Chains A and B, each alone.
Chain A
Amino acid sequence: AALKDGLRSQVSAALKEGRVTPTELCQRCLALIKTTKFLNAYITVAEQIALKQAEESEERYKRGQPLGILDGIPIAVKDNFNTTGIETTCASNMLKGYISPYNATVVQKLLDQGAVLLGKTNLDEFAMGSGSTDGVFGPVRNPWSYSKQYKEKSVPKSHSEDEESNWVITGGSSGGSAAAVSSFTCFAALGSDTGGSTRNPAAHCGVVGLKPTYGLISRHGLIPLVNSMDVPGILTRCVDDAAVLLGSLAGHDPKDSTTIQDDFKPFELPNLTDVSKLSIGIPKEYHTPGLSSEILALWSKAADLFKNAGAKVVEVSLPHTRYSIVCYHVLCTAEVASNMARFDGLEYGHRSDMKDSTESMYAATRREGFNGVVRGRILSGNYFLLKQNYEKYFVKAQKVRRLIANDFVKVFRSGVDILLTPTTLSDAAPYTEFIQEDNRTRSAQDDILTQAANMAGLPAINVPTALSERGLPVGLQFIGRSFQEKQLLTVAKWFEKQVQFPVIQLEEVKRHDSDVFQHQKSASFS
């Protein structure tokens, strides 16, 4: 079995047949994590715990009683999900060293199904960012920066510039998880998605990133950014794997009152052969000024692909989407201000030595614990929530949010099944370029194509589509109807099959997986 194989068809079978053991898989992943340490994808690697879990899994396989497809599968979890026994830091000084006494529901579900938790992945502090560059543990590096594909195509501008300054960002805020999946150090990873934090890095790292419908997966144990928009995200190498993960995570949680009561039935994705009954909507507002011509071309090519296969492709309008960013800014910062109020240094987390008064201790704790991005959002959020501003900003933003959501309802009611849009404006920017602009500007630009799905609570997925001229991944986004993940993923799988996105060619992976690593055809449809 190769590290890059799909779960259901290959890895699970190999484990069952004993061609590979959970311990071997785990050790390979741990070794790869070490050789790719420079990516800074992981904040904490839980080597001993992972090996113990792998051992237990191995016992189950020996007894012929594995817990399911995920038994023995190495996974990684974004460091804003609570995990017992492993630090949960949110990449912040505020929670450095914090060990939660409980597991997030999604983590518990994975463990209950035998998955092996390798460690916690890097992110922007408290998931506030779109680059995975603003965490206290430093930026995450995109594995594609070190791929053969990128190295071949991106000739350094001048010889004085070494490889070091050429590396590109992962996108964010779940950049660690995306990098971990992309570099084969785990088979799947959990991210979180509030404005695009799973789909954006998935696009930049060439992996599948699924943001399920709000309310389908429990948020209990996910340290919140914006409660009314946060969803645990799923990062995998193929759409089938995303369906496996979704099946293992979805469903009502008594600990999260916003999860739906209806039973969720896990599903396997059919191989779609006929798309002629499908209606694909192309929202014209996603053709924004900042969209790179390369991605625009790819997008219309994808639309043609559906059209040529017999699907109905229609232009649709989501007129209020253009207000999404400013609306998101108000709602996000307001909830951030509220959610961050608990970090006062009393019950847990960082506490300043300042002892003049309770108030000065609070102030110093929060100044030392939070970075400038978090503090800035707290400040503006509290401003929007002031009595004299509440109606003008918060209430208005809520109304606009409703309009944005209604746009989608109308489009879907008109008969459109799935929307097809770009995920990002361009391929991943080099770090040195990315940090020229501040976090706020960056987030506003980068979330532009993904945010509206969070506003409306809709399921959306990034499917890696092709490599850019620079040899970097580019993805497209499919947005589906509420709770229609099966339809969304089925279409995504069909598309995935058509585009044949190339496998990343990494020296590090080659060394570890040389026996089966074969030169796959890089035949992309672009």
Chain B
Amino acid sequence: AARGCGGIWRQARQRGAGWPGPGPGPFPRRQRAVAYNARGGAVPAGKSGLAPWVPVVGLEIHAQISSNSKLFSGSQVQFAAPPNSLVSFFDASLPGTLPVLNRRCVEAAVMTGLALNCSINKKSLFDRKHYFYADLPAGYQITQQRVPIAVNGSLSYSLCIDKKMSQMVTKTVRIKQIQLEQDSGKSLHDDTRSQTLVDLNRAGVGLMEVVMEPDMCCGEEAAAAVRELQLILQTLGSSQAVMAEGQLRVDANVSVHLPGEPYGVRTEVKNINSIRFLAKAVDYEIQRQIEELENGGTILNETRAFDSKLGCTVPMRDKEGKQDYRFMPEPNLPPLILYDAKSLPANMNHQQVINIDWIHERLPDLPSVKREKLVEQYGILPEHSFTLLNEDGLAEFFESVVKQTQMKPKKVIGWILNDLLSYLKQHSLTVKESPVSSFLLADLLNLLEKKEISSTAAKQVLAELWKGEGKTPLEIVKEQKLELLQDQKELEQICQAVIDGQENE
């Protein structure tokens, strides 16, 4: 670890950069002693109170495109396949091979661009970015440096501004551009045998690089923005966006400055493997820079890696100092031309053209729209709509239960969030893996709604249902005699019997 890291780490821990357990989503608890608030304004740094530092955070996100084959070759795309089993001649950069653009990847980028309110460039270009690295077989990466496929978009995301997560604010980050580019392979360094092993399965897989403007000011905001992007990508199906599998990779550019002064020197933080770590890494880096500056130091324009075990960022060994990527137009690919309804040529083979309007019309409901609909249709709280969408399949589960029961959606949501979700979290299950189907839960809630059982009994039945023994709620109720008695005479008899018993004593 780098010098001074331990001391700062203790401070960072004191700041409690924790993750709120099974709570609603990725929003870390508000942290004290940091020089920002959720509205992005500068506030005095908690610790010294000397200077009101303004942190600035921008993100560069690489999202692996979900497609059957790679960006420029026919090789399959698959996670965790045997090393070098998915490598075409082009992927291995055999001399004389040429790139052939994958239509699906272009469509995914257009969808993503539209969902992020970008203007789609009807003509975009490909460039070569040169550097020598073992997992970059051609010695260059094909990317879109000059004219990317989508530009000037925005992403709205929400985050809680209090600890109880009951008050949310919506913020917007500008999207500078989305560019199509090739992924690299993977190098595995075997230090003991001083060997480097190269796996080219990932080489040439399509990536969308989403460049966000530095409109954020803390880890929490960065995390919320990325989480929203992740949901959008998953809704579109343009990327599976699973960070743990490297389908979504986030680099954070962080700087701090004093109000009214130009932006400070920024550092780039890499090696962030989860949204939780993103919040931690950004906040750590902000704090580190503030402390560095307040102690009279300077910030170097460097690349730092986040060490998730130590919870701090450390300088990365720079690949031979400053790189000049010697960008050059990719001569083997003609400009990428997209059409809209207006510009679509009449006698063009539809297999050969991509119609932006056609894709636009078929975009699915985005998470923000889905949430609004949920709130409007079912009268649930906005923050509940966030929780519903944060878990894959949970909103659908909720809606399915609502459809099958007479219980009011506002009441159903309690059962979904407090009972179902916490059970699933406790047992690390996904919604799809839930032992209780929406049908069974609806059945149970109907019994409750019809007052056939009490709510305490309902919890008992649910506890039984988790076992997944295939019994219906009604069967369990009968077995365990949990019914509420509704027959006046029977109740009178019972009461009488109790009273009689008392008298006999």
- Taking A82-B95, A227-B332, A341-B139 as given, write out 9 further A-B residue pairs in contact, using a Cβ cutoff of 8 Å, ordered by the A residue number: A335-B331, A338-B139, A341-B130, A342-B93, A342-B138, A342-B139, A347-B94, A347-B137, A359-B132
* Separation of A91 and B93 alpha carbons in the complex (Å): 19
Q: In the complex, are the beta carbons of A342 and B95 less than 8 A apart?
A: yes
Interface contact A255-B137, CB-CB below 8 Å:
no
Q: Which residues of A contact B96 (CB under 8 A)?
A: 81-82, 100, 104, 220-224
Measured CB to CB, the nearest residue on chain A to B198 is A346
Contacts of A385 in B (CB 8 A): 130, 326-328
Complex: chain A residue closest to B196, CB-CB: A358
Q: Which residues of A contact B196 (CB under 8 A)?
A: 358
Asked if A95 CB lies within 8 Å of chain B CBs, one says: yes
> Interface majority SS on B: helix, strand, loop or mixed?
loop
Does B328 contact A386, Cβ atoms closer than 8 Å? no
B358 partner residues in chain A, CB cutoff 8 A: none
Is B366 in the interface zone, CB < 8 Å from A? no
CB distance from A418 to the nearest CB of B (A): 28
Interface size class of B (residues with CB under 8 A): 20 to 34
Distance in Å: Cβ of A341 to nearest Cβ of chain B: 3
Choose, from B97-105, B339-347, B397-405, B472-480, the stretch at the interface.
Answer: B97-105
Restricting to A303-346, which residues have a CB under 8 Å from any CB of B? 334-335, 337-338, 340-344, 346
Q: If A338-B130, A347-B94, A362-B132 touch, does A257 touch B99 (CB 8 Å cutoff)?
A: yes
Cβ–Cβ < 8 Å partners of B332 in chain A: 227, 256-258
A346 nearest CB neighbor, chain B only: B134
Contacts of A220 in B (CB 8 A): 96-98
A223-B95, A257-B333, A362-B132 known; A338+B328 contact, CB < 8 A: yes
The answer to whether A338 touches B137 (Cβ under 8 A) is: no
User: Is B8 an interface residue, CB under 8 A from the partner?
Assistant: no
Interface string of B323-335 (1 = CB under 8 A from A): 0101110011110
Interchain residue pairs A-B with the least CB separation, the first 5: A341-B139, A385-B326, A227-B331, A228-B331, A223-B95
Contacts of A346 in B (CB 8 A): 134, 137, 198
B326 pairs with A386, CB closer than 8 A: yes
Asked if A187 is at the interface of the complex by the 8 Å CB criterion, the answer is no
Contacts of A394 in B (CB 8 A): 328
B interface residues, Cβ below 8 angstroms from A: 89, 92-101, 128, 130, 132, 134, 137-140, 196, 198, 320, 324, 326-328, 331-334, 352
Question: Are A341 and B328 touching (Cβ within 8 A)?
Answer: no
A101-B94, A257-B332 known; A337 vs B132 contact (CB < 8 Å): no
Chain B residues closer than 8 Å to A337, beta-carbon distance: 326
Contact A344 B334 (CB under 8 A): no
CA of A222 to CA of B97, assembled, Å: 8
**How near does chain A come to B320, taking the closest CB pair, in angstroms?**
8
For B94, B95, B320, B324, the residue with the greatest tally of chain A CB atoms inside 10 Å of its CB is B95
Contact A344 B326 (CB under 8 A): no
CA A372 to CA B332, docked complex, whole Å = 27
| Bitwise interface map of A from 74 to 99 toward B, beta carbon under 8 Å scored 1, else 0 | 00000001100000101000010000
Q: How far is the CB of B190 from chain A (nearest CB, A)?
A: 13
Least CB separation from A81: chain B residue: B96
Alpha-carbon gap, A88 to B134, bound state (A): 24
- How far is it, in angstroms, between the C-alpha of A227 and the C-alpha of B334 when the chains are bound? 12
Does A219 belong to the interface (CB within 8 Å)?
A: yes
Considering the complex, give the chain A residue whose CB is closest to the CB of B135.
A346
Known A-B contacts A341-B132, A341-B139, A358-B196; the reply to A348 vs B94 at CB < 8 A is yes
When chains A and B are docked, how far (Å) is the Cα of A256 from the Cα of B331?
Answer: 11
Q: Does A68 count as interface, using CB distance less than 8 angstroms?
A: no
Interface flag for A517 (CB, 8 Å):
no
* Contacting residues, chain B, for A104 (C-beta < 8 A): 96
Q: State whether B327 touches A390 (Cβ < 8 A).
A: yes
A387 to B98, CA, bound (A): 26
Question: A254 in the interface, Cβ–Cβ < 8 Å?
Answer: yes
**Chain A residues whose CB sits within 8 angstroms of the CB of B95 once the complex forms:** 82, 88, 90, 95, 100, 223-224, 342-343, 348
CB-CB contacts below 8 Å: A76-130 with B: 81-82, 88, 90, 95, 100-102, 104
Collect the chain B residues with CB atoms within 8 Å of residue A347's CB: 92-94, 137
| Chain B positions within 8 Å of A82 at CB level | 94-96
Write out, one digit per residue, whether chain A residues 395-429 have a CB within 8 A of any chain B CB (1) or not (0): 00000000000000000000000000000000000
Q: Which residues of B contact A348 (CB under 8 A)?
A: 92, 94-95
Give the complex CA separation of A361 and B98 in angstroms.
Answer: 26
B contact residues around A224 at 8 Å (CB): 95-96
Which residues on the B side are within 8 Å of A500 (C-beta)? none
Given contacts A102-B89, A220-B96, A341-B139, contact A258 B324 (CB under 8 A): no
Task: Report the Cα distance A129→B13, complex, angstroms.
Answer: 65
A79 to chain B, nearest CB (A): 12
Inter-subunit contact A338/B140 (CB<8 Å): yes
Q: Tell me, in angstroms, the Cα distance from A442 to B179 when the chains sit together.
A: 42
Query: How far apart are B92's CB and chain A's nearest CB, in angstroms?
Result: 5
Question: How many Å from the CB of B200 to the closest CB on chain A?
Answer: 8
* A382 adjacent to chain B (CB < 8 Å): yes
Partner of B132, one of A219, A257, A344, A386: A344
Q: Give the shortest distance, in Å, between B134 (CB) and chain A (any CB).
A: 6
Closest Cβ of chain B to A366, distance in Å, is 10
Q: Please, how many angstroms separate the alpha-carbon atoms of A90 and B97 in the complex?
A: 15
Given known pairs A101-B94, A338-B328, the reply for A257 and B101 (CB within 8 Å) is yes
- Distance between B319 CB and nearest chain A CB, rounded to angstroms: 10
- Whole-angstrom distance between the alpha carbons of A337 and B332 in the complex? 15
* Distance from A468 Cβ to chain B, minimum over Cβ atoms (Å): 37
Q: Does the CB pair A358–B134 fall under 8 Å?
A: yes
Q: In the bound complex, how far is the Cα of B94 from the Cα of A219, in angstroms?
A: 14
Instruction: State which residues 11-39 of A face B: CB under 8 Å.
Output: none
Contact in complex: B98, A257 (CB < 8 Å): yes
- Chain A residues with CB under 8 Å of B97's CB are 220-221
Contact B101 A341 (CB under 8 A): no
Contact B98 A255 (CB under 8 A): yes
A88 to chain B, nearest CB (A): 8
Min Cβ gap B408→A in Å is 58
Let me know if B137 and A342 touch, CB within 8 A.
Answer: yes
Check A341/B138 contact, CB under 8 A, given A102-B89, A258-B334: yes
Q: Roughly how many angstroms separate A224 CA and B331 CA in the complex, as a whole number?
A: 11
Question: How far, in Å, is A388 (CB) from chain B's closest CB?
Answer: 9
Min Cβ gap A166→B in Å is 37
Complex CA–CA separation, A303 to B101 (angstroms): 47
The CA-CA distance from A97 to B213 in the complex, in Å, is 51
Complex interface: chain B residues within 8 A of A227 (CB): 331-332
Contact A254 B100 (CB under 8 A): yes
When distances are taken between beta carbons in the complex, the residues of chain A under 8 Å from B333 are 257-258
Query: Whole-angstrom distance between the alpha carbons of A104 and B89 in the complex?
Result: 12
* Bound complex: CA A335 to CA B328 (Å): 8
**B residues near A100, Cβ cutoff 8 Å:** 94-96
The chain A residue sitting closest to B131, CB to CB, is: A341
Which residue in chain A gives the minimum CB-CB distance to B349? A261
A219-B98 in contact given A257-B334, A341-B130, A387-B324 (Cβ < 8 Å): yes
- 20 CB contacts below 8 A, A to B, read A82-B96, A219-B98, A221-B96, A222-B96, A226-B331, A254-B100, A257-B98, A258-B331, A258-B334, A334-B328, A335-B331, A341-B130, A341-B140, A342-B95, A343-B95, A346-B134, A347-B94, A348-B94, A359-B320, A390-B327
Cα(A257)–Cα(B331), bound, Å:
10
What are the residues of chain B within 8 A of A387 when measuring CB–CB? 324, 326-327
Is B93 a contact of A338 with CB atoms below 8 Å?
Answer: no
Q: Using an 8 Å CB-CB cutoff, how does the interface string of A353-370 with B read, 1 for contact, 0 for none?
A: 000001100100000000
Q: How far is the CA of A118 from the CA of B196 in the complex (A)?
A: 41
> In the bound complex, what is the Cα–Cα distance between A220 and B72 (angstroms)?
14
Complex: A224 Cα to B138 Cα, angstroms: 13
Contacts of A117-159 to chain B: CB distance below 8 A: none
> Given A255-B98, A338-B140, are A382 and B331 neighbors across the interface (CB < 8 Å)?
no
> Which chain B residue shows the least CB distance to A221?
B96
Determine if B100 and A257 form an interchain contact, defined as CB atoms under 8 angstroms apart: yes
